[in-house]
Structure 1
Amino acid sequence: MKILIFILGLTVTFFLAFLVSSNRKEIKYKPILILLVIQLILSYFLLNTSIGFILVKGIADAFGVLLKYSESGINFVFGGLANKGEAPFFLSALLPIIFIAVLIGILQHFRILPFIIKGIGFLLSKVNGLGKLESYNAVAAAIVGQGEVFITVKDQLSQLSRKRLYTLCASSMSTVSMSIVGSYMKMVEPKYVVTALVLNLFSGFIIVHIVNPYTVSKEEDILELQEYKKQTFFEMLGEYIILGFTVAVTVAAMLIGFVALIAAINGLFNSIFGITFQSILGYIFSPLAFIMGIPASEIVQAGNIMATKLVTNEFVAMLDLKNVAGDLSPRTVGILSIFLVSFANFSSIGIIAGATKSIDPKQANVVSQFGLKLLYGATLVSLLSGTIVGVML
């Protein structure tokens, strides 16, 4: 039965992508097949083998150590705010972003991170059927963040065609920033966070091949990165500390606003129609939950959480999942966890458009024009990754 649902999930996902394809005749099926096989192998390795378990546990433990180190600074400043021995969500899950951001800054400063990103990007370009710039951008977005990644390619941004620009933006929305991975691990199982990071990278390439097919010539396939500005070590530390704090506060503000707004809308719908707004969305998204392999008895509740992620953000949806995880089967929790680990939501359109506007206002207008298509494609990326994991659990 799992195999049949898996085939159904792939068929529906690819069909939904095919519907909005900009050039169906130019779709390259060979790299799509190669990438799909790689995904199946990697997901099986990470979720169903002892070596994969050791690898995932090692990564999760490493983040656990980093989070413990971050607690020393948080406790020093906010120790008195702990409530009954349990720190509030802002302190335990969001403020560690500052320390992770500092580590990213250090790796950037000593040119270690750019070397790793370029190396992985180069290897990916050999199998994904896309250009070096697209491959680099996908890896970089998963590490430095969806807004910051455009700074490193700002010299090429104005020269990019509409299709190549779409691919760069789609990669930024389909992945997540390494600086907040630790925060995710506070809400969902680390093994699913790690698996989603890997799968979304390849799912993003597959969906782009269908939604936005094109060919990059050898003359165009040049990767010219912006030189990092020269700073002293302590200047860099100060900048990344502020950047990490800004991200943490921004996420906190969005959570306050979105959670309150959803509560208000739910209350309004419940008083007028006798059903919450999220419940209505749950019914709308339930077919998508089913094709990922979620049991029929849980698809409405799962659809509710999936829709919440789309209209708010992944943090709100993860909190909802954490609250009801005990009522759901482990299979449903696993598939939903994979689906939630991405930036595919309405607010990301504004973030990406804002990031490009600060560099090239003309290209930012182009990004705004295909904003909804970006969100549509990124949601299909999450759907594809969830479907892949559904056949493995």
Structure 2
Amino acid sequence: MHSPRQLAQRRILYAMAWFVFLFCSSVIATGMVVGRTSPSVAQEIAQPDSGDGDGTDDTGELADAQLEEAVASPPPAEAEQVEEALDEAPAEQAAADSEAAEEAAPDNAAADAVDEQAAQPETFELSRMKGEESSFFEKFISFFGIFALLGVAWLMSTNRRKVDWKLVGIGTGLQLLFALFIFYVPGGQKVFEVATVAVSKLLEFTNTGADFIFSSYVTGSVEGGLINFAFAVLPTIIFFSALMTVLYHLGIMQKLVHMFAWVMQRTMGISGAESMSAAANIFVGQTEAPLVVKPFVKNMTLSELMVVMTGGFATVAGGVLAIYVGMMEPSFPDIAGHLLAASVMSAPAALVIAKIIYPETDRPVTAGKLEMEDLREDVNVLDAASRGAAEGMKLALNVAAMLLAFIALIELVNYLITWPSMMINKSTLGSLAEAFAAGGMALPEGCDPATVADAAVVGCVETMQAAPGMAASWIAPVITMQDIFGYIFWPFAWVMGVPFEDCYTIARLLGEKMVINELVAYGSLQQLLLDPNVVLSERSIIIATYALCGFANFGSIGIQLGGIGGIAPERKGDLARIALRAMFGGTLAAFMTATIAGILI
């Protein structure tokens, strides 16, 4: 029997070995990616520079010069013929242009339409994406990523010998079936499209209600700077909260939850409380889902509590999902369908990861049972709608306050991290720039940058003037917390199937999600999509959409401890003991969902 210290040492060694393996795999992938020739490189190879290095073809210039000389000085016998031909050329060209204009008249309308469309406000278009077709290599990396993520969960396990690998295989297969239904089955694709249109329509209803309160702030008839998150996005929470409360009062949500729970219980062999909580997480949030199994929480095993918490971290509430759609839809029109798919696929993924990290060693009280707490507490539909709106208002204010506080805190942390670098640069290299300027590092008098010789002088002077800044960035580089997590999550982005050149960018978003929350991460993703200087592949964007969909961040640990602990105060100690593992488990579950999406897209 190993002591706790020995077990901890072994886990550290396992983790180090695993990350070394991931690093070596990424190095191999780097070589394969670099070895592939891009189309632009192929074009350059096909059309080499034969000139003097300025990108022009000397042979072509010589031929053009000879032709101009021949036209300018024709033989005496043919001079008059050349002049007549030159006089007739404009008339013939004008006639040809008029005929071409008449033939191209039907196409002018289409061209005008294209020009008008291009004049519209800039949004994210598929034409800005790189590599729309996923290669076999990228899909293979995603397939490999499933085993890599399961391996990380196994390293975190409290009892590796008790892991039920049959349950893991069935749960992963169930997740894959959900994905196949959504991506490949015609009926599933239709559901995907209908869901996207339905959510978009619901957002229009939200705008109608918000327009009555905030008027032109919603419609966009004011300056763009005034159309902000508070007026354009937060009203969505209030409407969706009221809608979900009405659906629960009518019993519609209970039937949907029971259907998903029945499928997971029958296929995976888990307890009724676990399956009901996991299914409820598809539709409601991390504090509302445990209410579905409220009477059973106090008697749950530690493995069941792990499932409840991991499911809350791996999924999002319907109202919050609508926020993501409202934020991202202008730049990524298909975001609603992908987020709904992520919510469904993450439920079995959370069960799989939770059962690996904390295997079941006891017999659950609800084994073989499928019971659900009746959440209806309203007199009628109007009462339900009013209560839901009031709760949505509280949630909207909570979200706004949370974003304000966390964004400010992350800026403070970044300042504290970068402050030493800025001080080093200022103290040790600040005088270097002054020395260059005082030492005559300026353009010589009478220097004309238009000439080749003087341009070389300009380049040398500018390089010397920029030398202090380049030296500062090398001696004391400015690193933010997002940069740090970008390096930490880089292997995870790669094993999910993100193209190599986009891994660091997506890894920074994953770090933002864990440190701050998913709202900030989706906001950063939206800024990347609208930035004309940033070009991400469609594959990277879709994988990031799935990986960011979840409440797995440090702030949510407190939310769950307060919410679930309020249901069963006697289990607060157990909840606190497994909370950190559950948060990392929810992160891995979201990554698994993104990995499976990477296999199929």
Settle same-fold status: TM greater than 0.5. Answer: yes
Residue in structure 2 matching 1:179, options 304, 319, 326: 319
* 1:239 aligned residue: 387
The question of 1:346 aligning with 2:554 is answered: yes
Structure 1 pair 216–136 and aligned structure 2 pair: CA distance change class (3 A): farther
* 2:130 aligned residue: none
Please report how far the alpha carbon of residue 201 of structure 1 lies from its aligned counterpart in structure 2 after TM superposition: 1.1
Q: Matches of 2:185 and 2:377 in 1, distance apart? A: 44
Structure 1 pair 146–275 and aligned structure 2 pair: CA distance change class (3 A): same
Please report how far the alpha carbon of residue 216 of structure 1 lies from its aligned counterpart in structure 2 after TM superposition: 6.7
What is the CA deviation profile of residues 264-309 of structure 1, one whole-angstrom value per residue up to 9, with x for unaligned ones?
A: 3233333433122211211111111111111121211111110000
Q: Which has the higher contact order (CA 8 A, sep 6+)?
A: 1
Residue in structure 2 matching 1:228, options 369, 372, 375: 375
**Preserved contact between residue 543 and residue 598 of structure 2 (Cα < 8 Å):** yes
What is the CA deviation profile of residues 198-229 of structure 1, one whole-angstrom value per residue up to 9, with x for unaligned ones?
A: 22112112112211221674863234443435
Counterpart of 1:275, as a letter, is: I
Q: Matches of 1:342 and 1:230 in 2, distance apart? A: 28
Structure 1 pair 229–38 and aligned structure 2 pair: CA distance change class (3 A): closer
Q: Give TM-score scaled by structure 1 length.
A: 0.93
Q: Matches of 1:179 and 1:352 in 2, distance apart? A: 18
Structure 1 unaligned blocks of 5 or more: none
Structure 2 unaligned blocks of 5 or more: 1-136, 329-334, 422-477
The question of 1:84 aligning with 2:292 is answered: no
Q: Matches of 2:308 and 2:352 in 1, distance apart? A: 14
Larger Rg: 2
Structure 1 pair 220–195 and aligned structure 2 pair: CA distance change class (3 A): closer
What is the CA deviation profile of residues 342-393 of structure 1, one whole-angstrom value per residue up to 9, with x for unaligned ones?
A: 1111111111111122222221222112111111111111121121112222
* 2:84 aligned residue: none
Counterpart of 1:262, as a letter, is: I
**Preserved contact between residue 345 and residue 593 of structure 2 (Cα < 8 Å):** yes
Overall identity of the aligned pairs, in %: 28
Q: Matches of 1:58 and 1:271 in 2, distance apart? A: 50
The question of 1:371 aligning with 2:571 is answered: no
Structure 1 pair 358–218 and aligned structure 2 pair: CA distance change class (3 A): closer
Q: Matches of 2:176 and 2:290 in 1, distance apart? A: 30
Please report how far the alpha carbon of residue 238 of structure 1 lies from its aligned counterpart in structure 2 after TM superposition: 2.2
Please report how far the alpha carbon of residue 175 of structure 1 lies from its aligned counterpart in structure 2 after TM superposition: 1.1
Q: How does 1:263-274 map to 2 (within 5 A)?
A: 263-273=411-421, 274=478
Structure 1 pair 11–123 and aligned structure 2 pair: CA distance change class (3 A): closer
The question of 1:209 aligning with 2:345 is answered: no
The question of 1:28 aligning with 2:164 is answered: yes
* 2:346 aligned residue: 200
Matched residue count: 393
Q: Matches of 2:144 and 2:353 in 1, distance apart? A: 16
**Preserved contact between residue 130 and residue 215 of structure 1 (Cα < 8 Å):** no
The question of 1:250 aligning with 2:398 is answered: yes
Structure 1 pair 186–231 and aligned structure 2 pair: CA distance change class (3 A): closer
Q: How does 1:1-393 map to 2 (within 5 A)?
A: 1-48=137-184, 50-82=186-218, 83-84=222-223, 87-188=227-328, 189-214=335-360, 217=363, 220-221=366-367, 222-228=369-375, 230-233=377-380, 234-273=382-421, 274-325=478-529, 326-393=534-601
Q: Matches of 1:341 and 1:201 in 2, distance apart? A: 12
Q: Give TM-score scaled by structure 2 length.
A: 0.62
Please report how far the alpha carbon of residue 242 of structure 1 lies from its aligned counterpart in structure 2 after TM superposition: 0.9
Q: Matches of 1:347 and 1:141 in 2, distance apart? A: 18
Deviates more, 1:62-71 or 1:79-88: 79-88
**Preserved contact between residue 131 and residue 216 of structure 1 (Cα < 8 Å):** no
**Preserved contact between residue 354 and residue 582 of structure 2 (Cα < 8 Å):** no
Deviates more, 1:96-105 or 1:356-365: 356-365
